[in-house]
Amino acid sequence: MVPKNLYLIGTMNTADRSILLIDTALRRRFAFKELLPDPELLRSGKIADVSLSTWLRALNRRIVEQLGRDGRNLQIGHSYLMQDGKPVSGTHQISQIVQDEVWPLRQEYCYEDSNKLAQILGAGRGGIFNEQTGSLREDLFARGRESDLEEALCSILTSDDKTEDAGLDEDTDPVEEELDEADAAT
């Protein structure tokens, strides 16, 4: 007999297509609750003068735009930008996260498609992606280049992102709104 107060909680990475058959079998037997990134948990963290929540929303919006329907499951989660339950602080920490975690995920999920990587991460002198080498602009991650890296990371922000970061539309999540609109259209 199973006690009434026993709960089984499991996690599953829906981005992993190799487990599609297992996923289907599990969905027939268990309830699924989708947990998307929660950028609001990062509001107190900053890159230059921009909140990490705004930056993560902008990055995830680009991921969804470039990767289509699959992009919803391939977003960067807020936990990448947290340490001990708090937003990371300092350009050095953010630099390490981008190099060691965000960049490898983007490479894998974009199948090294340079055009998609450039659109997501920002390319050219203003972004962090080097289109000629097909990799990150390593010069930005060198000591003493913190302000250049901050500027490059923030290059993905649109004027709408900057308005939202200034405190307007605090109750809305642009990525969630776009995803909801896409769902309604299908």
Can you give the residue ranges of every domain in the chain? 38-185
Indicate the pLDDT class of residue 159, thresholds 50, 70 and 90.
confident
Contact 67, 110 (CB under 8 A): yes
- Average pLDDT of the chain? 84
pLDDT digits over 52-107, tens only? 999 999 999 999 999 988 898 899 999 999 999 999 988 999 999 999 999 999 99
**pLDDT at 24 (0 to 100):** 78
Number of residues that this document lists for the chain = 186
Pairing of strands 129-130, 86-87: unpaired
Indicate the burial class of 155 (C-beta count within 10 angstroms; 0-12, 13-18, 19 or more). middle
Higher pLDDT, 99 or 126: 99
- pTM, full prediction: 0.78
